[in-house]
Amino acid sequence: MASRLGKPTDGVVSRTINRRVSTRVTRMLVRLGVRDPNKVTLATGILGVLAALPYLLVNPLWTAVAGLLVQLASILDGVDGEIARMLGRKSGFGAYLDATTDRIVDATSFTLATYAAVKGLGLDAGLAVLITGFVVSAALMVSYVHARGEASLRRSLQVTGRVRPWASRDVRLFILALGSVLVPLLPEPLGWWELLATLIGIAVASYAYVAAKTIDLWLLWRSGGLE
């Protein structure tokens, strides 16, 4: 069931964890009469934004709760597409709506998680803004590059070229969840330093992928493999 409803571009976390749960939810919702994937997209988008709100409390325990909710939202994010594929209701607007809500959820999750880390550490406001900008922009860049590739090159970058995604959305959110859950398990301020290091690590890995993928595509273009 999971393989039939999944996508060839699924990341490792989606294939091994998320789809195992989301496909069961999808099957249950279809049995209950849910037929509109766009409404599910909006519902899971709202859930994704709400999931990150506990970060605002800047409390180790609530940070762990936020991490668990972020991962739950990431799992449920696959339901809309699964319903669309199961019922043959895929549409261009549905893909647009899904991508847009995903970016809103990503920006919210990484902004609020970074806020919790820098606030918990009492970092200088200017430094906090720089770190937040770096983390949030990195979280959005991988998805942007893939979307731009589909628009400009008319092919999926996840399966084009030699460089495969190592910082896909499912992986980024899963690592954020793990980093968040660890915060209350470590003494303060070590827990907040761990979360900040996790966020910066995700950002570095994301920008490294963007650079590697761009070079990969350039080499493919030079060799005549791209228009």
Catalytic residues: 102
Contact 73, 105 (CB under 8 A): yes
Contacts of 144 (CB under 8 A, 6+ apart): none
CA atoms within 13 A on the CB side of 155: 10
| Residue 91: φ, ψ to 5° | -150, 160
Amino acid at 49: V
Separation between Cα atoms, residue 55 and residue 126, nearest integer Å: 20
d(CA 52, CA 46): 10
Q: How far apart are CA 183 and CA 61, in angstroms?
A: 8
